[in-house]
Amino acid sequence: MAVLWPARLAGALDGAPLDTRADALVIGLALPALLAIHPRVTRGTAMRAMIVALLVWKSLLAATTTADGWCLRFTSPVPLFIDNVLVPHAWDVRADWRSEPPRCSAVMTRAYRSTLEFPVWFFNLPPATLQQPADETERPPYATLDITLSGYLQVPADGSFAVAVADDLRLSATIDGRAVDAAELAAGVALRAGMHDISLAGTLTGERWLLIPTWNGRVVWDSAIATMAAPAAVDGWLRPWARWVSTSLVGMMLAIGARDVLLRARNGTAIAAALTQIGIASATAGRTMLMRMVPVLLAVAVALKLPRRLQNMFGAQLLLGLPFLAMVAARGLEDIGRVTWYTIGDDWWLFQRFAYRIYLQGYWLEAGEPAFWFQPFYRWIAGALHLVFGDSSVGELFWDGACVMMGALFAFHVTRVTAGFRWGVMAAALTLALFTLGPGWYLFGRGLSEITSAGLTYAAALLVLRGRNAHLISLSIAGVCVALAFYTRLNNLPFVVAVAAFSLPLRQPAGEWRSWRRWWPRCSPSALAAVTIAVVLAIVLFSLRSYYFTGNPNPLAGTQAGARSVWQTTDEGLTPAQNLVGSLLMVLSMSDPPRLEPRAIPIVTGIAVALLALAGVRRFRALPLNVVVLCVAGITGAFVARGSAYPGRFSIHLIPVTVALTVSAVALWLRKPHDGARA
């Protein structure tokens, strides 16, 4: 709340929207990563003091100062979306984003140097029918848009106000009630010291857009006081220094977090390796093939000699998690603060429309569909990320990176307990490599639901393991993750239900699954109850929503369950048996249509290992029962429905668990199980 709350004074690290590189990388990625790797940092007196100071400071500014920025309003000559949207919203929480129509589409606090830097994400919305594909003529360079920009400018001395524009923006102005033509505005208007009422109006056409208001040759927000309303007397006194207070406080929070992580590590080898890998991963920006190879580099952590206190989840996040997220940041660097044009007519594009429908038009429960033909929950996630990161879709890339990392940490923990730390590092690195070097690389930031559902499921499994001793907070969060994982990808229900198996310890061998009298007493009643209640409650709530909008309590009513079922003859004449085999092979091969794919070997091996473990084959039978159950449950969806399009997407959820089983099986085959840590 402290760091995301938009500051009244524009500057670096000033809160949402995170539309500059400093904001997105520090607030949107680095700070959450440090809090994830070392959550106890928030218990320190210094960090708490910074948080309280930032909240108090922003509260004081909200009560005493005028907000920086000018009101930017767009008007379309034709409706842009359903409900006859002519004045669209941008994803800007500083504007009146809950008003319809908005007075300000966005708040301008920086120069726009290209078309993609303008807050015109709403061009992804046309036409007025929600599920009808847009036409390229409804976007730049074919679309036309009226623009107004208004606010106040207070300057300390006489000088020149100018607005730089490109050829495709025709602009005029009214300054203190005096009309100013485009030529005079471009050359510079002489203004005296004091406050001035600025109003700009024009029309955007084509695709060569530029809009840079300047005072004496510098952007107005760097050289003067440019505010939404008439500035008060205190504004002039505060502006020269106050905008740096929020920056300093957030910077100190980041420094405290980094310091605490280093103090916890207290190992030169680990710190040097982590910093080197972060540097190399960051340097891969713009080099796609090198970027995809980063997880291979991370595997060198296997060779490091680390103290036992670092052979745990913290050590894995330090040596694997932070460098991997640095690679994710490198991939998204060019997308920060820039609009993404979505490919027309696909699921990604439609999820974005649903997100706009929810957050900016107020259809919080309907969410664009009375019955969810498309997977339900990701649209809420996409909208929340847009509120944080603005028009840019880089937040979805960061989110997917975090979800993939969660799967890798699951593979690490399972393998570490089964076979030891080095094998755990190998499993985590291989998991990440399958995501980056495998067919699913293009899914990063694509805005689909598979990565999110998998990340939430693996988070739930780890939390259930942590909460086995009636740790209610962990179990409560696990229950939320279970429900949301199901909502995010409905056909993952068996996979999600299998999280209940983690009420057993990881030391429970799969070979004993028939001897229920042996393993049932080891099951944690509180953990089992938490997952069961979460699943049942999620289904009941889903059914109630379906009944409310459609009159049918069936939670699958209106979904693609019937259309995608493998138990029917297809239009191409394929029998149910052929459908089932094709669906299974598609998941196992990470390819559609199925084909021999060497990169899918860990998935096929993991499934085979799980079946051998259940069959009680020597050595394999020692693998964890709960992990085996999760793996088998993950493949069951292929026996119910066959997905289509986006090769590799239907194998995403299986990668971490199959890699964990594959690496653990190799370790057990080569030597006796290592004395790993507690489950």
Give 589's Cβ-side CA count (13 Å radius): 14
CA-wise closest residue to 356 among 334, 328, 385, 333: 385
For residues 386 and 395, the answer to whether their CB atoms sit within 8 Å is yes
Grouping H, G, I as helix, E, B as strand and the rest as coil, residue 72 is strand
Three-class SS of 323-383 = HHHHHHHHHHHHHCCCCCCCCCCCHHHHHHHHHHHHHCCCCCCCCCCCCCCCCCCHHHHHH
Q: Is residue 356 pLDDT above 90, yes or no?
A: yes
Find the helix or strand (DSSP H, E) in which 245 lies.
helix 233-265
CA distances from 277 to 270, 298, 322 (A): 11, 7, 9
Three-class SS of 148-190 = EEEEEEEECCCEEEEEEECCCEEEEEEECCEEECHHHHHHCEE
Place of tokens 């649209």: 379
What is the rounded average pLDDT of the residues 171-179? 92
Report the C-alpha gap between 91 and 360 in whole angstroms: 8
How many other CB atoms sit within 10 Å of the CB of residue 82? 17
Q: Is residue 309 pLDDT above 80, yes or no?
A: yes
What is the rounded average pLDDT of the residues 193-218? 93
At 556, the pLDDT band (50, 70, 90 cuts) reads confident
Report the C-alpha gap between 212 and 108 in whole angstroms: 10
For residues 339 and 391, the answer to whether their CB atoms sit within 8 Å is yes
Q: Is residue 673 pLDDT above 70, yes or no?
A: no
Q: Is residue 478 pLDDT above 80, yes or no?
A: yes
Report the C-alpha gap between 343 and 350 in whole angstroms: 10
CA distances from 92 to 6, 337, 360 (A): 10, 12, 10
Burial letters 109-118, b for 16+ CB under 10 A, else e = bebbeebbbb
For residues 353 and 368, the answer to whether their CB atoms sit within 8 Å is yes
Place of tokens 């206190």: 309
Q: What does pTM read for this prediction?
A: 0.94
For residues 231 and 152, the answer to whether their CB atoms sit within 8 Å is yes
- Using a 10 angstrom Cβ sphere, with 0-12 exposed, 13-18 middle and 19 or more buried, the burial of residue 480 is middle
How many other CB atoms sit within 10 Å of the CB of residue 99? 12
Q: In residues, how long is the chain?
A: 679
Structure confidence at residue 672 (pLDDT): 56
Report the C-alpha gap between 11 and 9 in whole angstroms: 6
- The end-to-end CA distance of the chain, in Å, is 34
Of residues 213 and 567, the one with the higher pLDDT is 213
Q: Give per-residue pLDDT as tens, 616-654.
A: 998 899 999 999 999 999 999 888 888 777 888 899 999
Q: What is the mean pLDDT of the chain?
A: 91
What is the rounded average pLDDT of the residues 464-479? 93
For residues 602 and 659, the answer to whether their CB atoms sit within 8 Å is yes
Structure confidence at residue 678 (pLDDT): 43
Q: Is residue 674 pLDDT above 60, yes or no?
A: no
Q: Is residue 48 pLDDT above 60, yes or no?
A: yes
Q: Is residue 518 pLDDT above 50, yes or no?
A: yes
At 257, the pLDDT band (50, 70, 90 cuts) reads very high
Q: Is residue 676 pLDDT above 60, yes or no?
A: no
Of residues 231 and 678, the one with the higher pLDDT is 231
Q: In the sheet that 189-191 helps form, which strands lie side by side, from edge to edge?
A: 189-191, 159-165, 211-215, 218-219
CA-wise closest residue to 2 among 67, 68, 49: 49
Q: Is residue 562 pLDDT above 90, yes or no?
A: no
For residues 313 and 393, the answer to whether their CB atoms sit within 8 Å is no
Of residues 243 and 328, the one with the higher pLDDT is 328
Report the C-alpha gap between 245 and 163 in whole angstroms: 29
